[in-house]
Chains A and B, each alone.
Chain A
């Protein structure tokens, strides 16, 4: 910030300064920074009110009655104790239905409290002009010449009608604007009336500043903010104080007090920041209305504020700050740690409050934690988008990836929000209320992980802003893009909604007194589940948002006419080539990593273990994650290596493409293994008949989508940092242009494959000991009985007791009650056996070309049994398949394959 001698401040900035007229006009074309703070104020007041009114209800006689009812409903629903997850869920639903009516009454009570608050704020806002006129004894302005002069200024400012008043005994040169909807007043002090003649330039600057407030629509937001604060004090803070003094319903006072103070402080500081931030915008507007204004000189001559240390509590920034902002408008665009912290705190506290309201008002909420998160993300997501959008507009073109301080604040705020909520006062084993090494560690882990998850989000929004506001790349001049801001606001809302849902779900581990390790495990698993496995629209929409916003900017840019189409196309192609090469390299790497997992697993894991479907399932999930990790590595390489203005989005595209390729290969690892023996996990010598078709359909689509989405979501956390680090390194080495070559990329990919593929050694060893091996798999699945060979299907194990080959028994690893029994009898018993089967309704069949009988009958314990009797050579065989009822369709393929493989032994 420029802080020269006040007297040396020039009247207007130079044409190339960041605060040039064009830029300033652009800033005024964007929503004012106060608008997002106002949204936060409303959200903060709403959230606090919900909590306090809920607490008040609990303190009334109805509160204990509701608690009693809840306990009774749960006792009834859970008696007798349900077994199994579905039974518990049904019992819980019954309990919810039982208590829903009484809870709804509490919800209506809370809504009524908010209604009273809103009404009070409305009355205060409406009465404010009358009160000011009375309290300050303002009188109508007299003097036709002065009125004419003021009207002339109003006409220049382009505002609507203004009622001019005067405050004769105020001898300072001052003015102030106030009013309500469609009724604007400007009061001129006695000193200003005189200054109209004695110091006309200063008079114009002061009056134009007030008119700028009207032009910027500051009146409504500012005075509404004040009215809301006053109503908040009366209708929320005072009842809260009463609650603290006379009731213990919210928990121990020492737990509640600091939380109540924090809530009040948040609202108070937001109110002040609304008023304070208005001044910079109004000054900028004056400069726009009157480029030759002497406002800079007037501001530089203002005395310094008395309370220097407590600047957050001031209504106005200092004159020196404002004068400096006229030269360098950075404060107009500033978005830093405190802004992020405010957004994060309000969003998280609001989501927790909304969760309570949704619980009270809706008996069955199919959206889970999404709806409460979405409600307050609607305030906070667009607020963050506006702030970052403005910040990127005002930053010099060389800046990249700014927004880290805001990200740090956002993450911390989101992490701290659930701790600050009033309901958290009831949690007995959470820091800081209950301080121990365990609770402090859990809280620290929670803060660190949540902060990390959201750290880069503002940087991404800044990147979206660059797509829209700098269509010519970073080197181009910024243009305001309100349409893009709308798109980004929606995007931020969606992402923050999902993020708040994750926080709501994961905080349970902290509030339940989990350890640092438990918190980390739970949060990481929840994140990975949401990123990759969860097939819900919520988890799919988030990564799409990060492509949709840049894509919309691209489409909007294509609609603009631009000169030199051929040259632009050539430039595009030149810029796109490195990204395309990285996509190819990443796809090859991810696919190779997936194949490497198979090869290493085959080489280092015992065959019976590999035969187990549970092991295979775990290995495939691991394979998916390896493919995703390889894709993330390449996304990070792309982000660090590319110097284009769109490097971050290109890196995400690399992640998506590489993840999709990896997912494609990982999903088909079994069919690939049937064709390529060194990659076959199941068989030492895969049957040639299986080398036919790759998997397709919905399974493949879901697998590819999952890996691709997981790669993109994880890349979101690392790409901005990698890009910033890459730029910083490049600048340090004074080489702006990339020297990365495709060869380098492939080398990096090979290293990634080696590292990632090598990790499977540990994964396979780690998972194999935990895998129960039920029996033998013979010789690559082939098992020989008396006079026959049969090939077990993967997942089936030969459990025949040693020395009793007359009866072969195979069981399934997933369904232990599924069995394949093959009994060999002397040929002499063929006739009685056939007679027995015919009595049970057996019919003639052919099995491997041999005649026999087949019968299906019910077995014991609900199982289904199929039996075949086949006579061949010296033996008659009874082949018996037992399948657990309801699971036949899962087993039919493997049973069929085994039966088809059964054949008389060639050697007799």
Chain B
């Protein structure tokens, strides 16, 4: 169950990154591994190691870590809500999305009520992560859009 949960969070996160910050996709596998604690660490780096290095002082803001935290929180919250129907629907949706099969029996679109629940949980999780209101709505919209749209590979 834990593996499946992590897999779902990874899938959700990847879909969200694809929609919200596609430029971060090349980093996604590494960041996901790090997020899941599979990677041993970030590595030690200092400017004295990177002798022929060149970089600007500005730190780039990545959405992926936020998205992954959001996806994890969302999923956990959804389970906590015990909304089996919604959970079942999301699971089915994501399963179809990963397998790339659109005509699998049982792959029905989520209902409006289910989507409403998804939005509520998503907004609450974004709020818990202290994401600014505008961007929290964006995340919630993306999650709803992701689950409402026909599955894509």
Chain A residues at the B interface, C-beta cutoff of 8 Å: 132, 135-139, 141-143, 146, 166-178, 189-198, 202, 206, 209-210, 213, 218-219, 222-223, 226, 275, 278-279, 282, 298, 301-303, 315-316
Question: What residues on B are CB-neighbors of A136 within 8 Å?
Answer: 43-45, 49
Asked if A167 and B43 sit within 8 Å, CB to CB, the answer is yes
Question: What residues on A are CB-neighbors of B27 within 8 Å?
Answer: 142, 166, 168, 190, 193-194
Question: What residues on B are CB-neighbors of A132 within 8 Å?
Answer: 49
Interface centre among A132, A175, A190, A198 (most CB of B within 10 A): A190
Asked if B47 and A172 sit within 8 Å, CB to CB, the answer is no
Interface status of B26 (Cβ within 8 A of chain A): yes
- A193 is contacted by which of B24, B29, B55 (Cβ under 8 Å)? B24
| Distance in angstroms between the alpha carbons of A303 and B41 in the assembled complex | 28
Asked if B56 and A206 sit within 8 Å, CB to CB, the answer is yes
Asked if A194 and B24 sit within 8 Å, CB to CB, the answer is yes
Asked if A143 and B25 sit within 8 Å, CB to CB, the answer is yes
Show 18 A/B contacts (Cβ-Cβ < 8 Å), sorted by A.
A137-B41, A146-B26, A171-B59, A171-B61, A173-B58, A174-B54, A174-B56, A175-B55, A176-B52, A178-B52, A190-B62, A191-B59, A191-B60, A192-B60, A193-B24, A194-B27, A210-B54, A213-B52
Question: What residues on B are CB-neighbors of A282 within 8 Å?
Answer: 52, 54
Question: What residues on B are CB-neighbors of A298 within 8 Å?
Answer: 56
Q: Given A138-B43, A172-B57, A190-B62, is A197 in contact with B23 using a C-beta cutoff of 8 Å? A: yes
Asked if A202 and B56 sit within 8 Å, CB to CB, the answer is yes
| Distance in angstroms between the alpha carbons of A458 and B47 in the assembled complex | 36
| Distance in angstroms between the alpha carbons of A170 and B55 in the assembled complex | 11
| Distance in angstroms between the alpha carbons of A197 and B51 in the assembled complex | 26
- B42 is contacted by which of A137, A279, A301, A302 (Cβ under 8 Å)? A137
Asked if B59 and A172 sit within 8 Å, CB to CB, the answer is yes
Closest 10 CB pairs of A and B: A174-B55, A143-B26, A176-B53, A137-B43, A197-B23, A191-B60, A168-B30, A176-B50, A169-B42, A303-B57
Closest residue of chain B to A205, judged by CB? B54
Q: Given A172-B58, A176-B54, A194-B27, is A137 in contact with B49 using a C-beta cutoff of 8 Å? A: no
Interface status of B34 (Cβ within 8 A of chain A): yes
Closest residue of chain A to B41, judged by CB? A137
- A135 is contacted by which of B49, B54, B59 (Cβ under 8 Å)? B49
Asked if B23 and A196 sit within 8 Å, CB to CB, the answer is yes
Question: What residues on A are CB-neighbors of B49 within 8 Å?
Answer: 132, 135-136
Chain B residues at the A interface, C-beta cutoff of 8 Å: 21-27, 29-31, 34, 39-45, 47-62
Asked if A218 and B62 sit within 8 Å, CB to CB, the answer is no
CB distance from B30 to the nearest CB of A (A): 4
- A166 is contacted by which of B22, B30, B61, B62 (Cβ under 8 Å)? B30
Interface centre among B22, B40, B41, B60 (most CB of A within 10 A): B60
| Distance in angstroms between the alpha carbons of A735 and B50 in the assembled complex | 54
Asked if B51 and A194 sit within 8 Å, CB to CB, the answer is no
Question: What residues on B are CB-neighbors of A223 within 8 Å?
Answer: 51
Question: What residues on A are CB-neighbors of B62 within 8 Å?
Answer: 171, 190, 194
Question: What residues on A are CB-neighbors of B54 within 8 Å?
Answer: 174-176, 206, 209-210, 279, 282
Question: What residues on A are CB-neighbors of B42 within 8 Å?
Answer: 137, 169-170
Asked if B52 and A173 sit within 8 Å, CB to CB, the answer is no
CB distance from B45 to the nearest CB of A (A): 5
Closest residue of chain B to A131, judged by CB? B49
Closest residue of chain B to A272, judged by CB? B51
CB distance from A61 to the nearest CB of B (A): 41
| Distance in angstroms between the alpha carbons of A194 and B25 in the assembled complex | 9
| Distance in angstroms between the alpha carbons of A169 and B59 in the assembled complex | 11
- B55 is contacted by which of A139, A172, A213 (Cβ under 8 Å)? A172
Question: What residues on B are CB-neighbors of A139 within 8 Å?
Answer: 30
Question: What residues on B are CB-neighbors of A226 within 8 Å?
Answer: 51
CB distance from A720 to the nearest CB of B (A): 38
Interface centre among B48, B51, B59 (most CB of A within 10 A): B51
Closest residue of chain A to B30, judged by CB? A168
| Distance in angstroms between the alpha carbons of A658 and B28 in the assembled complex | 81
Asked if B60 and A173 sit within 8 Å, CB to CB, the answer is yes
Question: What residues on B are CB-neighbors of A146 within 8 Å?
Answer: 26
Question: What residues on B are CB-neighbors of A218 within 8 Å?
Answer: 52
| Distance in angstroms between the alpha carbons of A171 and B57 in the assembled complex | 10
Q: List 15 extra interface pairs beyond A167-B43, A169-B43, CB under 8 A.
A: A142-B29, A168-B27, A168-B34, A170-B42, A172-B60, A173-B56, A174-B53, A174-B54, A175-B55, A176-B51, A178-B51, A189-B55, A219-B52, A222-B52, A301-B58
Question: What residues on B are CB-neighbors of A177 within 8 Å?
Answer: 52-53
Asked if B60 and A210 sit within 8 Å, CB to CB, the answer is no
Closest residue of chain A to B43, judged by CB? A137
| Distance in angstroms between the alpha carbons of A135 and B50 in the assembled complex | 11
Asked if A315 and B57 sit within 8 Å, CB to CB, the answer is no
Question: What residues on A are CB-neighbors of B61 within 8 Å?
Answer: 171
Closest residue of chain A to B47, judged by CB? A315
CB distance from A279 to the nearest CB of B (A): 8
CB distance from A387 to the nearest CB of B (A): 22
CB distance from A284 to the nearest CB of B (A): 14
CB distance from B64 to the nearest CB of A (A): 9
| Distance in angstroms between the alpha carbons of A190 and B54 in the assembled complex | 14
CB distance from A523 to the nearest CB of B (A): 43
| Distance in angstroms between the alpha carbons of A302 and B26 in the assembled complex | 26
Q: Given A172-B59, A209-B54, is A166 in contact with B26 using a C-beta cutoff of 8 Å? A: yes
CB distance from B21 to the nearest CB of A (A): 8
Closest residue of chain A to B23, judged by CB? A197
Asked if B55 and A171 sit within 8 Å, CB to CB, the answer is no
| Distance in angstroms between the alpha carbons of A263 and B75 in the assembled complex | 63
Asked if B56 and A194 sit within 8 Å, CB to CB, the answer is no
Asked if B23 and A194 sit within 8 Å, CB to CB, the answer is yes
Question: What residues on B are CB-neighbors of A189 within 8 Å?
Answer: 55
CB distance from B86 to the nearest CB of A (A): 33
| Distance in angstroms between the alpha carbons of A471 and B26 in the assembled complex | 54
Question: What residues on A are CB-neighbors of B24 within 8 Å?
Answer: 193-194
